[in-house]
Structure 1
Amino acid sequence: MSRSGADLALLLLGGFRSLVDGATAELARRGYEDVRPVHDFAMRAIADGAGNASELGRRLSVSKQAAAKTIAVLQDRGYVTRGTDPRHARRMLLQVTPLGFEVLRQGEAIFDELREQWERQIGATQLQNLETYLAALSGDPAVRFDTPGWMSRGLGDLM
């Protein structure tokens, strides 16, 4: 049976969604029921140097207002803080807290566990081949979270 290009896109999206939904559910089981995928992307961008709402908005391809809302949620939940920029005393910089880094570490461990589940389902060789083929087709890494425009839609319902 031959599938269409749209079928392929939906299968790839379904695989992504399955992993992300599984990770989000497992984070909730581990006590982080308030974490959403956009929070992971935002904390990684902040850890990588997005020090304010404007920069975070650029990295996530969202408005400054949407970035500010995400920052407020992350601050309220204790995942990020605003500290003083050592180079500019009046400027505030975002920083990921130890709790935020713990959530990121937990998420990475969960994705490793989900990968192991897939390996058990289809076999180590099949999964390695899948990863090799996907890397050849889409590049390795396939997508960076801060690539402009890649996730700019639908963030409002994830906060």
Structure 2
Amino acid sequence: MGEAGPGHELPLRLFAAFRAAVDAVHDDLAAHGHPDLRPMHGFVFQAIGTRGTTAVELGARLGVTKQAAGKTIAALEQQGYVERAPDPRDARRKAVRLTPRGRDVLDRSARTFARVRAQWAEQIGPDRLDALEADLAALAPGEAFRLDAPGWFGPDR
């Protein structure tokens, strides 16, 4: 094995791999009628999920203010990705749900991430990729899918 590089290179390489996967998803989404979506929207769609949420809950999951969540919801609603409806758990609140167009984004993204994973397995070998995933799970224990990246990258951090 070669000599290890400077310590700052590892997180940058991890981020570059993450970005390559996300860029592949967004290239596919753009080619299939979703050119205006950005990586942050993936976190939003995951935080809304298949059951929906409220603006307050969305902001908390994303680590952003209720106002920032509301602004994002309004933009996605205008583009036809989400809709607001009475919350079945509390009639005083509005639930935010994915529309069929929003669910298409989630389905398409999942297929593209699977294709990227298969390409990586072909490139470095499935055993090495499995080991890499296991090693990353050991290095970053806890919740596998943290959705608060938008807030974490925000100006208040």
- SS of aligned partner of 1:17: helix
How many residues are paired up?
153
- Partner residue in 1 for 2:5: 3
Alpha carbons of structure 1 residues 155 and 99: separation in structure 2 relative to 1, 3 Å:
farther
For normalisation by structure 1, the TM-score amounts to: 0.85
Where do 5+ consecutive residues of structure 2 fail to align?
none
Q: Distance in 2 between matches of 1:30 and 1:112?
A: 17
Listed as ranges, the matches of 1:22-61 within 5 Å are 22-47=24-49, 51-61=53-63
Structure 1: tracts of 5 or more residues without a match: none
Note if contact 2:52-2:98 (Cα within 8 Å) is conserved in structure 1: no
Alpha-carbon distance in 2 for matches of 1:110, 1:144: 20
2:112 corresponds to: 110
Q: How far is 1:86 from its partner?
A: 3.1
Q: Are the aligned partners of 1:50 and 1:59 in contact in 2 as well (CA < 8 Å)? A: no
Aligned to 1:152: 151
Which consecutive aligned stretches of 4+ in structure 1 deviate over 4 angstroms post-superposition? 153-156
For residue 114 of structure 1, report the CA deviation from its aligned partner. Answer: 0.6
Identity %: 43
TM-score by length of 2: 0.85
